[in-house]
Structure 1
Amino acid sequence: MAPKVLVSDKLSETAVQIFRDRGIDVDFMPDLGKDKEKLREIISQYDGLAIRSATKVTPKILDAADNLKVIGRAGIGTDNIDKDAASKKGVIVMNTPFGNMITTAEHAIAMMFAVARQIPEASASTHSGKWEKSKFMGVELTGKTLGVIGAGNIGGIVCARALGLKMKVLAYDPFLGQEKADQMGVEKVELDELLARADFITLHVPLTDQTRNILSRENLGKTKPGVRIVNCARGGLVDEVALAELLKSGHVAGAAFDVFAEEPATENPLFNLPNVVCTPHLGAATTEAQENVALQVAEQMSDYLLTGAVTNALNMPSVTAEEAKVMGPWIKLADHLGNFIGQMTDEPVKAINILYDGVVSGMNLDALTCASVAGIMKSANPEVNMVSAPLIAKERGIKISTTRQDKSGAFEGYIKLTVVTSERERSIGGTVFSDGKPRFIQIKGINIDAEIGRHMLYTTNHDEPGIIGALGQTMGENDVNIANFTLGRSAVGGEAIALLYVDSPVPNPVIAKLHETGLFQQIRALQFDVA
């Protein structure tokens, strides 16, 4: 029987025809995504679901999706899909991360022009029969300094366009290396320097715990007087209330926003301010971009349903069905190793070196390497997946090297991951035991045997009495239950580490109390995607 796909949002007829041409039975119901109950009622009939942003794939819908194998999102954002619920259900989630990059970058440039020359206000005034030529005095972009927060795919295109406009470009991006910045022709700076020097600031980062409110009230206060701010990335990156106050005071000369903290945005502190340009999330809204992502998602879903090939999956590695049986636990280990280092690393990554020892050295190293790189990068950008991670790393000048070697130690096989930054090298090793569970076996050259849990706490200290007591007492007093406690040291009285597997996230006040003891050099709460 042919696979059956439901298209519940407005995809192009050309994309729908791709499914048909490849022998897939497709139902095109472009308005169904707005009716959650109807979608839940019929979803069990389908192997695939192709959507845009209108369809919300909730746990309730997935609970009823007994035959669903793949969800394809035509576009990059997958906030409308519960990816954890999809993973638990065994449903692959795909997106099309590169189909609308140019369109979104062009919109940011257009918004920058609009706010620099007050085009919307001047247009409205002229349409109303006024001729207020002296009222709308703008500024040139040529010679101005543009600060780009996030120099990845879209941000990189904005940098190139701005250089073509003869602007000076500053870039802040934790993953941007100096060599790549030089190739791009931009000046790599820290955030505070960008805020102090930029005449225009444009944001091109995803919304994560690290980037949320990146332009906070405090950071907005560090900006150059007369700055103009553009956000075509994600709502929630800017403190909109604080920005509105600075616009009214004149410290910020103008702003152009395509995205807002609450959408659809019918009310917002930025609305109706004379020096603000607003559009209703139009970054990807061009005919070309909408067609591109629609065609891409149809091809990707067809490939998977007909051949098992996986492309741009957010929750599944790109390996064959045969490989997955053997490699699944090792891919999970590679992801955990990368995620550990990604959560521990704040400075730009220059190189990633991966050692495969023993039995693992004969596996599909491409998939394992992709999993490691994705693990490192997804702490800063959760939209990174195994397919896009190597491309993003290459674009940012990160050098990736791998080494195979025969069995050299007590384990049948292990992976050692080393990341090089401008400040230090950081390494971690792991293996998979016979029960199929990944384990950490070495951190910073110190041997350990640590079970990996969803919530963990990592500390470093000098080897001295009182560490176990301080950790246990502080966790106990604050109702944080320890499931597993692993210690390791380089030598008696030397450098030591502790890795705690706990039942719930460690709150910041608890970490602060541990710091107050003066016993620890480093304390970091960690999160891992453990099924």
Structure 2
Amino acid sequence: MDNMKVLIADQINEKGIDELKDVAEVVNNTSITKEELVTVIKDFDAIIVRSRTKVTREVIEAAEKLKIIARAGVGVDNVDVEAATEHGIMVVNAPESTSITVAEHTMGIILSLARKISIADKSVKESKWEKKKFMGLELNGKTLGVIGMGRIGSQVVTRSKAFGMDALVYDPYITEEAAAELGVTVVDLETLLKNSDVMTVHVPLTPETKHLIAKPQFDIMKENAFIVNCARGGIIKEEDLYEALSTGKIGGAGLDVYEEEPPKNNPLFGLDNVVLTPHIAASTAEAQRDAAIIVANEIKKVFKGESPKNVLNMPVLDPETFQLIKPYFKLTEKLGKFLMQTAKGNIKEINITYCGELSEFKKQDILTRMVLQEILNPILTEPVNLVNANSVAKIRGIVVTEGKRCDAKGYKSLIKVEMKSESKDISLEGIAAKEPEIIMIDGYKVDVETEGTMLIVRYKDIPGIIGAIGTRLGEQGINIAKMQVGRKELGGEAVMVLKVDQKVKGTEIEKLLKLEDVYDAVAVNL
């Protein structure tokens, strides 16, 4: 350990540097260029970056001793995580460092909206005294609606309780026990929007959450409602937000994040009932200090041969093990993404069975964690990774079981994943061929490519229904590229898998479900 070297490539708090000095030689070069980094990285065992330095594939391939890349913050957009994984290099970050900071900023915006602090401040500085214009609202007795109850959402709830607020929560993964402990009521999104006086968003930006809040949602909010977004730009559709604010449909809004950053010529700039800040919710001295200390301690763990907490990729494996398991990475990713998009309500159980040669492999647990990672990450603001996947699932009340059996149905290896949710169960079986393939859905034999958009339809196996489904899709301009059907018995339930050329909207699925003898339909984007 005495010979370890750490490169500090971006400026971090001194407390983090001090943590490392007793275990490694620390080189502080916060102005290093890309070209210089490629040249010198071969000498280092660890590197710490923030946002400026890009740890590209070229940098990673030039590294000879690198064990860990640490991002002193939350996002890792500036790190090629895939390349790091391929080279057995861990990537860590500090997701918990900003939880309190962002929660406090959220409360600050809520208070500014309720008491019109920002526009009152501007008025006084213009030598005006407009007391009647700035009549405010008390938070006491009002209802807070929290969309996403990860670390930050939970901190916001805790602080809102000090103001005498009640809390409604929309989060498909929160358990009844966790909700009771926090003193919140879990509801669906529509109920939250209709009944909340103040709403705050704390979910990641994914295809499912993009424009989660748009005109249909504003239309059902209270007339004096406030909404705040300190999560990611794009979750709220700004065009519809402007309309809701300018017409008095809702009372006010607060944004720290935007669809375009920095925002330019944004019509929201001209409104008095909106509070805007420049993506600074996570920017406090304490958060930067904590981030530096967290990643420094992660590096120390790696140097001591221990497992860090915030690993975002594959833990280091010996080369032989890595080569054996690598072909199944993409399959588990696809299975997890498929299941996540078909879940309805709270997930109760996830059962994973390994068949064939995989049943003899001793480290299937890594593949199990990969499946969990793909299922849980899209809905949670805190990153779910290979180290914390099992514990996050447990906290969320999800029972995870792992099994082995020898029958792989003629394939070298096969993975079966069964997911039980509040109102729907589904099982998938997949193989790692040249490209991952799903060969069974709920016991129906299929042969599904795991790329693009698919529509999975359950229907009664009677003459004419397949044609009716195709006609209904054609009426909506949806082109079918490939079709497969699977059934167990003539005249019973059957499953159709359609590969289509464009994404399928919820309204288009609703029209499909109106067909007689169509039981269920769901779109999956892989």
Task: Give the TM-score taking structure 2 as reference length.
Answer: 0.82
1:75-102 per-position Cα deviation (integer Å, ceiling 9, x unaligned):
2223445656766787654322222112
Q: Which residue of 2 aligns with 1:401?
A: 400
Q: Spell out the pairing of 1:205-224 with structure 2 (5 A cutoff).
A: 205-224=203-222
Q: Distance in 2 between matches of 1:479 and 1:124?
A: 55
How many aligned residue pairs are there? Answer: 510
Q: Does 1:7 find its partner at 2:3?
A: no
Q: Which residue of 1 aligns with 2:452?
A: 455
Equivalent residue letter for 1:259: V
Q: Give RMSD over aligned pairs.
A: 4.0
Q: Does 1:66 find its partner at 2:66?
A: no
Q: Which residue of 2 aligns with 1:370?
A: 369
Q: Which residue of 2 aligns with 1:422?
A: 422
Preserved contact between residue 146 and residue 200 of structure 1 (Cα < 8 Å): yes
Q: Distance in 1 between matches of 2:71 and 2:429?
A: 35
Cα–Cα, structure 1 residues 253 and 415, in superposed 2: closer, same or farther, change >3 Å? same
1:54-82 per-position Cα deviation (integer Å, ceiling 9, x unaligned):
4456xxx5346532455432222234456
Q: Does 1:490 find its partner at 2:488?
A: yes
Q: Does 1:233 find its partner at 2:231?
A: yes
SS at match of 1:151: coil
1:157-186 per-position Cα deviation (integer Å, ceiling 9, x unaligned):
212222332211111123234444333321
Q: Distance in 2 between matches of 1:407 and 1:470?
A: 41
Identity of aligned residues (%): 35
Q: Distance in 1 between matches of 2:125 and 2:273?
A: 18
Q: Distance in 2 between matches of 1:470 and 1:343?
A: 25
SS at match of 2:96: coil
Q: Does 1:508 find its partner at 2:507?
A: no
SS at match of 1:300: helix
Cα–Cα, structure 1 residues 405 and 237, in superposed 2: closer, same or farther, change >3 Å? closer
Measured after TM superposition, the shift of residue 199 of structure 1 is 0.7
Q: Distance in 2 between matches of 1:472 and 1:84?
A: 39
Measured after TM superposition, the shift of residue 457 of structure 1 is 2.3
Q: Spell out the pairing of 1:119-134 with structure 2 (5 A cutoff).
A: 119-127=117-125, 129-134=127-132
Preserved contact between residue 352 and residue 401 of structure 1 (Cα < 8 Å): yes
1:457-476 per-position Cα deviation (integer Å, ceiling 9, x unaligned):
2533444578999999999x
Measured after TM superposition, the shift of residue 265 of structure 1 is 3.3
Measured after TM superposition, the shift of residue 251 of structure 1 is 2.9
Equivalent residue letter for 2:377: K
Measured after TM superposition, the shift of residue 4 of structure 1 is 5.7
Match of 1:196 among 194, 197, 214: 194
Equivalent residue letter for 2:155: I
Measured after TM superposition, the shift of residue 330 of structure 1 is 4.3
Cα–Cα, structure 1 residues 52 and 125, in superposed 2: closer, same or farther, change >3 Å? same
Measured after TM superposition, the shift of residue 230 of structure 1 is 1.3
Preserved contact between residue 16 and residue 26 of structure 1 (Cα < 8 Å): no
SS at match of 2:251: strand
SS at match of 2:367: helix
Q: Which residue of 1 aligns with 2:172?
A: 174
Preserved contact between residue 339 and residue 378 of structure 1 (Cα < 8 Å): no
Q: Distance in 2 between matches of 1:98 and 1:269?
A: 34
Q: Distance in 2 between matches of 1:468 and 1:226?
A: 48
Task: Give the TM-score taking structure 1 as reference length.
Answer: 0.81
SS at match of 2:401: strand
Cα–Cα, structure 1 residues 400 and 23, in superposed 2: closer, same or farther, change >3 Å? same
Q: Spell out the pairing of 1:23-172 with structure 2 (5 A cutoff).
A: 23=24, 26-29=27-30, 31-32=31-32, 38-40=33-35, 42-46=37-41, 49-55=47-53, 61-63=56-58, 65-68=60-63, 71-81=69-79, 83=81, 93-127=91-125, 129-172=127-170
Measured after TM superposition, the shift of residue 108 of structure 1 is 0.8
Cα–Cα, structure 1 residues 318 and 121, in superposed 2: closer, same or farther, change >3 Å? farther
Measured after TM superposition, the shift of residue 141 of structure 1 is 0.8
Preserved contact between residue 52 and residue 73 of structure 1 (Cα < 8 Å): yes
Preserved contact between residue 455 and residue 525 of structure 1 (Cα < 8 Å): no
Preserved contact between residue 4 and residue 23 of structure 2 (Cα < 8 Å): no
SS at match of 1:277: strand
Preserved contact between residue 429 and residue 438 of structure 2 (Cα < 8 Å): yes
Preserved contact between residue 107 and residue 283 of structure 1 (Cα < 8 Å): yes
Cα–Cα, structure 1 residues 507 and 90, in superposed 2: closer, same or farther, change >3 Å? farther
Measured after TM superposition, the shift of residue 237 of structure 1 is 1.6
Measured after TM superposition, the shift of residue 257 of structure 1 is 1.7
SS at match of 1:135: helix
Measured after TM superposition, the shift of residue 146 of structure 1 is 0.8
Measured after TM superposition, the shift of residue 361 of structure 1 is 6.6
Preserved contact between residue 344 and residue 422 of structure 2 (Cα < 8 Å): no
Measured after TM superposition, the shift of residue 311 of structure 1 is 4.8
Q: Which residue of 2 aligns with 1:342?
A: 340
Q: Distance in 2 between matches of 1:93 and 1:313?
A: 6
Preserved contact between residue 457 and residue 506 of structure 1 (Cα < 8 Å): no
Preserved contact between residue 309 and residue 320 of structure 1 (Cα < 8 Å): no
Q: Which residue of 2 aligns with 1:297?
A: 295
Preserved contact between residue 20 and residue 26 of structure 1 (Cα < 8 Å): no
1:331-379 per-position Cα deviation (integer Å, ceiling 9, x unaligned):
5443333222112124221332334556537623543332221121234
Preserved contact between residue 310 and residue 318 of structure 1 (Cα < 8 Å): no
Cα–Cα, structure 1 residues 441 and 463, in superposed 2: closer, same or farther, change >3 Å? same
Equivalent residue letter for 1:234: R
Q: Which residue of 1 aligns with 2:254?
A: 256
Cα–Cα, structure 1 residues 368 and 84, in superposed 2: closer, same or farther, change >3 Å? closer
Q: Distance in 1 between matches of 2:239 and 2:450?
A: 38
Measured after TM superposition, the shift of residue 40 of structure 1 is 4.5
Q: Does 1:384 find its partner at 2:384?
A: yes
SS at match of 2:235: coil
Q: Distance in 2 between matches of 1:478 and 1:210?
A: 20
Measured after TM superposition, the shift of residue 52 of structure 1 is 1.9
Q: Distance in 1 between matches of 2:513 and 2:146?
A: 37
Preserved contact between residue 145 and residue 170 of structure 1 (Cα < 8 Å): yes
Q: Which residue of 2 aligns with 1:326?
A: 324
Measured after TM superposition, the shift of residue 151 of structure 1 is 1.5
Deviates more, 1:76-85 or 1:233-242: 76-85
1:314-341 per-position Cα deviation (integer Å, ceiling 9, x unaligned):
3435756564343334454433332221
Q: Which residue of 1 aligns with 2:524?
A: 526
Cα–Cα, structure 1 residues 192 and 20, in superposed 2: closer, same or farther, change >3 Å? same
Preserved contact between residue 5 and residue 24 of structure 2 (Cα < 8 Å): no
Deviates more, 1:102-111 or 1:132-141: 132-141
- Structure 2: gaps (5+ residues): none
Match of 1:285 among 269, 283, 288: 283
Equivalent residue letter for 1:404: G
Cα–Cα, structure 1 residues 11 and 248, in superposed 2: closer, same or farther, change >3 Å? same
Q: Spell out the pairing of 1:341-360 with structure 2 (5 A cutoff).
A: 341-356=339-354, 359-360=358-359
Cα–Cα, structure 1 residues 186 and 52, in superposed 2: closer, same or farther, change >3 Å? same
